[in-house]
Amino acid sequence: MSEMSFEQMLEESLKTIRNGEVVEGTVIDVKPDEIILNIGYKSDGIITRNEYTNEPNVDLTTVVSVGDTMEAKVVKVNDGEGQVLLSYKRLAAEKGNKRLEEAFENQEVLTAKVAQVLAGGLSVVVDETRVFIPASLVSDVYEKDLTKYDGQEIEFVITEFNPRRRRIIGDRKQLLLAKKEEMQKELFETVPKEEEPEKISLYEAFLQRLSQYEELESIGDAWSGMEEELKAFYQEENSD
């Protein structure tokens, strides 16, 4: 426990805290697997690695420093060793739920790293809150193997939000479809109406080319290729 004056010890001996309460403290020691906080109480607070993050094997000395100020939720006033057991991730998850609820209501596009590839889809974490993206909503084309997404940052929207049932569903597919539709429309509007036959031919060729790409980043290659075809088409028409 950190050194305190007699007045501080007296004040903290009279302070009470309860399970579920949110407290603020200053980091006085950090180890790879735990954080010690001075929370202005007769006992220091402790945050274990498991109560800091859902990511396994994180070295806490790389993410927290002595002197940092943190908020945490009281899990147990006495952990059996005279310390107060705190949780940083549970408080972060509560804040994350509010963040995701706002994103759900506003249909906001979120970006997060894929934390885990599951048999039925992807798991991403937003502010210590897990979001599940079913395999059918990961891409606009069928993908049997999703392992390539492991550790990647992806964009998605929340289409279902039910934290009580621990059901928060994300959708990446609709963003890919919207992007393709936007690019198709841009291409379709590029060719003058009087050249409708050629316009339709180029449009269909573009659709066929898009179907060959699984990643949104690759759509740009398809678009660049179609731009070159359009330029060649106009040069040929103008040379007559």
What is the pLDDT, as a whole number, of residue 25? 94
**57 has pLDDT over 70:** yes
**193 has pLDDT over 60:** no
Strand partners, 116: 123
DSSP, residue by residue, 81-137: SSSEEEEHHHHHHHHHHHHHHHHHHHT--EEEEEEEEETTEEEEEETTEEEEEEGGG
**12 has pLDDT over 50:** yes
The string of pLDDT tens digits covering residues 221-231 is 555 555 555 55
The string of pLDDT tens digits covering residues 126-169 is 888 899 999 999 998 888 899 999 999 999 999 999 988 889 99
Strand partners, 8: none
Dihedral pair phi/psi, residue 57, rounded to 5°? 65, 25
The string of pLDDT tens digits covering residues 94-116 is 888 999 999 999 999 999 999 99
What is the pLDDT, as a whole number, of residue 206? 57
What are the angstrom distances between the C-alpha of 87 and each of 74, 111, 164, 219?
Answer: 6, 25, 20, 43
Is the pTM value of this prediction over 0.75? Answer: no
**217 has pLDDT over 50:** no
45 compared with 229, residue with greater pLDDT: 45
What is the pLDDT, as a whole number, of residue 128? 82
Closest CA to 35 of 79, 44, 75: 44
Query: Beta strands of the chain (E only): which ranges?
Result: 22-31, 34-38, 45-48, 69-76, 84-87, 110-118, 121-126, 129-134, 153-162, 167-171
What is the pLDDT, as a whole number, of residue 5? 66
